[in-house]
Amino acid sequence: MDKNTRICIIGGGPAGLSAGMYLEQKGYTNYTIFERLDRVGGKCWSPHYNGKRYEMGAIMGVPSYYAVEDVEKFCGITHDGPKLNRNYKDAQGNVIEPFARTLGNIIKNPWLLKMKKQLTKFGELLETKYKGYDLNGHRGVAEGRYDGYAVTPGRERVQGENPNLKDLAMPFKDFCEKNGCELVQKIWIGPFTSFGYGYFDEIPAAYVLKYLDFQTCMNFVKVNLWTWEQGTQYIWEQLNAHLKNPARLNSAIEKVERKDGKVFVTVNGQVEEFDKVIVTAPLYIPNKRTDGQKGMVEYFDAREDEKALFSKIDYERYDVLAVETKPEHHPEISYYVFDNMVPEKLGHLMVYYRRWKQSVDQVITTYALRKHKNMAEVPYDTCKRMVLDDLKIMRNPASNVVNEWSVYYFPHVFSDDYAAGWYDKVEAMQGKYDTYYAGEIMAFGDMDETAEYSRELVSSETLKIGGRHLPPVS
């Protein structure tokens, strides 16, 4: 591909900004990033409160976030934020120790020793029976293949056949039971369901395990985590500042037409011409959102194959509140409420987060899910009231709501569509209509997975599993 190819990137979140960085590193500088908001970062949003930044979106990373580390190196920054820790409460607000292997706790919870054995077994199964499970993206999984880059510092290319990978299409609950490791769900649920990614009886195991591969999950367990003093948004603000072509903010894209080998983008009333377009913004949103955000199929000249595939996408309803408390009610640490991480407790408080250990002059952020595919969706206002009531039960009542957010979150497909090869069909469309699809849906909804997919999309060893990714760029 000619180095002067005009490339449009839609979306100024981790996926879009990373695509710009990786293109730039390969010598492609004729790119433009359009962002509809007045800020970059997407779901990495770190507003200010009393001179400090707090998190409304992504909170942390782990040492295996190699794409995020690429960005840090590119910008000359590092993970310099507060050390995190947490404790646990039951639904009545009592502090508990669910994982402490003391004699009293083992007598009370005899599954602890059994869980430890299952965890060891699970790790071994993932490395052997499910070899290739942890590669970025979903190429070939439904067909029993793997081809991608390893989750290692060298990110070496690996590929092969493994029919067992087809099991990853089943819900994670069924996957664990099939392998006699049902108790590991008690470990994986903390950094998965409470982080807004749905319930184990509905979400395909592939999403759970590509995000929380064994190494990553153990980092969460051991609290071996990264944070950034200025918040996760700072990573992407810095990247935007270091790009040759920073994102153009407040860019309202009204229409995209693809014809005669060109891409015509109408943005803020003006038509701009490109050769290629990379879409990192949502491809499909199944309901009208109050914030006006739309899916690609609504403003593109979407083709029938795009409409048919992207209409299979659903997303989570995950709500975040930032609240003040009186000093005497301020929690001494962050808390997980495992009792509320089940579908029966839809809409209840699952976790609340204290960022700065030495200060009570800060907000507390709360997190709740209000959607399950087999249940009625909990209305936003109802969920908000439930969370505030739960804080009272936790004995950390809110005195004021400072901020609230219900963002388009974790786009995904369910097991039947996953097993039917949804991802391989989309990958086969890469480059068709001069369009490339990236962002959360193509890998997973955390900042590292989305950035890593962008790296692979413009890699000199771009994967071509029956499709047409961007041609090699080196």
Tens digit of each residue's pLDDT (9 = 90 or more) over 60-100: 999 999 999 999 999 999 999 999 999 999 999 999 987 76
- Position 105 scores a pLDDT of 66
Q: Which residue has the tokens 């499910």?
A: 130
How far CA 354 is from CA of 85, 165, 331, 435, 461, in Å, comes to 9, 38, 7, 42, 42
Task: Give Cβ neighbours of residue 152 (< 8 Å, ≥ 6 apart).
Answer: none
In the chain, list all ranges with CATH 3.30.70.1990: 315-410
The answer on pLDDT for 103 being more than 90 is no
- Position 145 scores a pLDDT of 97
Contacts 24+ apart (CB under 8 A), 134-138: 134/209, 134/210, 134/213, 134/214, 134/215, 135/210, 136/210, 136/443, 136/449, 136/452, 136/453, 136/456, 137/210, 137/423, 137/442, 137/443, 137/453, 137/456, 138/206, 138/210, 138/418, 138/423, 138/442, 138/443
Kindly state the percentage of the chain with pLDDT values over 90.
87
* 7-78+228-313+413-457 CATH fold: FAD/NAD(P)-binding domain (3.50.50)
The answer on pLDDT for 466 being more than 50 is no
Q: What is the arithmetic mean of pLDDT over 341-355?
A: 97
Q: Can you give the C-alpha Rg of the chain in angstroms? A: 22
Question: 472 falls in which pLDDT band (50, 70, 90)?
Answer: very low
- Position 461 scores a pLDDT of 45
How far CA 291 is from CA of 129, 147, 247, 352, 371, in Å, comes to 44, 38, 21, 25, 18
User: In terms of pTM, does the model score above 0.85?
Assistant: yes
Query: 199 — alpha (psi -120 to 50), left (phi > 0) or beta?
Result: beta
- Position 70 scores a pLDDT of 97
Q: How far apart (Å, rounded) are the C-alpha atoms in residues 75 and 377?
A: 41
The answer on pLDDT for 7 being more than 50 is yes
Amino acid in the structure at residue 128: T
How far CA 38 is from CA of 42, 45, 150, 290, 472, in Å, comes to 11, 12, 35, 17, 33
* Structural tokens at position 341: 């991480």
- Position 290 scores a pLDDT of 87
Q: What's the whole-number average pLDDT of the chain?
A: 93
- Position 150 scores a pLDDT of 87
Is-contact 327 359, C-beta < 8 A?
Answer: no
Q: At what angle do helices 447-457 and 66-75 cross, to 10 degrees?
A: 80
Q: What is the arithmetic mean of pLDDT over 33-48?
A: 97
Question: 471 falls in which pLDDT band (50, 70, 90)?
Answer: very low
Task: Give Cβ neighbours of residue 235 (< 8 Å, ≥ 6 apart).
Answer: 14, 41, 44, 68, 71, 72, 75, 77, 228, 447
Assigned CATH for 315-410: 3.30.70.1990
- Position 463 scores a pLDDT of 40
Handedness of CA 140, 145, 147, 151 (dihedral sign): positive
Q: How far apart (Å, rounded) are the C-alpha atoms in residues 191 and 353?
A: 13
Q: How far apart (Å, rounded) are the C-alpha atoms in residues 307 and 435?
A: 14
What phi and psi values does residue 86 have, to the nearest 5 degrees?
Answer: -155, 165
- Position 459 scores a pLDDT of 83
Amino acid in the structure at residue 90: D
**Regarding beta strands 157-161 and 334-336, do their DSSP bridges make them parallel or antiparallel, or are they unpaired?**
unpaired
The answer on pLDDT for 14 being more than 90 is yes
The answer on pLDDT for 450 being more than 60 is yes
Q: Which of 387, 370, 388 is nearest to 379 (CA)?
A: 370
Q: How far apart (Å, rounded) are the C-alpha atoms in residues 41 and 14?
A: 6
pLDDT in tens, 313-336: 999 999 999 999 999 999 999 999
* 115-221 CATH fold: Guanine Nucleotide Dissociation Inhibitor; domain 1 (1.10.405)
Paired strand residues for 423: none
Q: How far apart (Å, rounded) are the C-alpha atoms in residues 187 and 201?
A: 15
Q: At what angle do helices 14-25 and 66-75 cross, to 10 degrees?
A: 60
Is-contact 197 159, C-beta < 8 A?
Answer: no
- Position 468 scores a pLDDT of 47
**Regarding beta strands 276-279 and 52-53, do their DSSP bridges make them parallel or antiparallel, or are they unpaired?**
unpaired
Q: What is the arithmetic mean of pLDDT over 359-367?
A: 94
pLDDT in tens, 301-316: 999 999 999 999 999 9
Amino acid in the structure at residue 64: S
**Regarding beta strands 435-437 and 276-279, do their DSSP bridges make them parallel or antiparallel, or are they unpaired?**
parallel
The answer on pLDDT for 108 being more than 80 is no
Q: According to DSSP H, which parts of 109-184 are helical?
A: 111-127, 172-178
Could you count the other beta carbons within 10 Å of the beta carbon of residue 269?
A: 7
Q: Which has the minimum average pLDDT: 93-102, 165-174, 403-412?
A: 93-102
Question: 460 falls in which pLDDT band (50, 70, 90)?
Answer: low
How far CA 124 is from CA of 118, 119, 121, 404, 412, in Å, comes to 10, 9, 5, 42, 27
Q: What is the arithmetic mean of pLDDT over 135-161?
A: 93
In the chain, list all ranges with CATH 1.10.405.20: 115-221
Q: What is the arithmetic mean of pLDDT over 104-108?
A: 64
Element (H, E) at 308: helix 304-310
Maximum distance among all alpha carbons in the chain? Answer: 72
Q: Which has the minimum average pLDDT: 164-168, 175-179, 220-224?
A: 220-224
Could you count the other beta carbons within 10 Å of the beta carbon of residue 353?
A: 22
